[in-house]
């Protein structure tokens, strides 16, 4: 059984989804890499911000 | 009044044969549609990403939705799972994906499986666009 932490699951999800988004939503290899990295940073960044917001709300 | 909607020029069919082969093959096996159009690196990356997401989802004790449960959310989950093509069929044949409600990671796994299917739908449509020349 594979039991990752919540954050590691987020990293895996962001990585796989960003690869697919980059390849399918852009035409050139350079644009694919740039868009993939953008999606990845947005996925992970939004999760971190949302986590801090929830932490602040809980206090 | 002139419309600002940009309509692409008439698409060119880049290859011969059955027009929807990349779409169907890409749905059945993630990335195979891109292989068919000669984009083997894209196909390989798509296969690794979608297959990893699906099988890691099952390894996390995620649930494979079944058809005809009568629940609307289950039906939507089934539609997403169906995007995994042969992986879904293999999972059902091997009797995997019963889901473990007592584990938090099992819920993550269920979402991994559904999203892998949805990503594969996008991938198959992209392969189809490459096949018909709408995308280069």
- How confident is residue B103, by pLDDT bands cut at 50, 70 and 90? confident
Q: Residue A20 is nearest to which of B105, B119, B136, comparing CB atoms?
A: B119
What pLDDT does residue B9 have? Answer: 53
For residue A34, what are the domain limits?
19-58
Query: How many domains does chain A contain in total?
Result: 1
Residues in B touching A3 (Cβ below 8 Å): 60, 103, 105
Domain boundaries, chain B: 21-132
Place of tokens 């602040």: A56
pLDDT higher than 60, residue B12: no
- Report yes or no: B110 at the A interface, CB cutoff 8 Å: no
Question: A1 lies in a domain?
Answer: no
Question: A35 lies in a domain?
Answer: yes
pLDDT higher than 80, residue B11: no
Per-residue CA distances from B127 to A21, A28, B24, B30, B81 (Å): 13, 15, 9, 10, 19
Question: A6 lies in a domain?
Answer: no
What are A5-52's pLDDT values in tens digits? 999 999 999 999 999 999 999 999 999 999 999 999 999 999 999 999
Question: A14 lies in a domain?
Answer: no
Question: A25 lies in a domain?
Answer: yes
CB B19 within 8 A of CB B13: yes
- Report yes or no: B49 at the A interface, CB cutoff 8 Å: yes
Would you call A27 and B135 a contact, using CB atoms and an 8 Å cutoff? yes
What are B47-79's pLDDT values in tens digits? 999 999 999 999 999 999 999 788 899 999 999
């Amino acid at each position: 059984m594979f039991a990752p932490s919540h954050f590691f699951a987020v990293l895996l999800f962001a990585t796989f989804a960003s690869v697919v988004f980059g390849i399918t939503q852009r035409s050139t290899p350079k644009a694919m890499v740039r868009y993939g990295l953008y999606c990845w940073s947005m996925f992970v960044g939004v999760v971190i911000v949302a986590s801090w917001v929830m932490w602040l709300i809980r206090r | 009044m002139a419309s600002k909607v940009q309509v692409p020029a008439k698409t060119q069919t880049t290859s011969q044969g059955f027009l929807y082969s990349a779409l169907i093959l890409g749905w059945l096996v993630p990335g195979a549609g891109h292989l068919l159009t000669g984009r083997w690196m894209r196909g390989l990356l798509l296969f690794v990403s979608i297959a990893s997401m699906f099988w890691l989802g099952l390894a996390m004790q995620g649930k494979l939705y079944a058809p005809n449960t009568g629940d609307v959310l289950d039906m939507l989950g089934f539609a997403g799972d169906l995007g995994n093509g042969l992986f879904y069929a293999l999972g059902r044949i091997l009797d995997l994906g019963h889901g473990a409600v007592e584990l938090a990671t099992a819920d993550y796994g269920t979402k991994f499986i559904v999203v892998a299917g949805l990503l594969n739908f996008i991938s198959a449509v992209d392969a189809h666009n490459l096949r018909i020349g709408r995308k280069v």
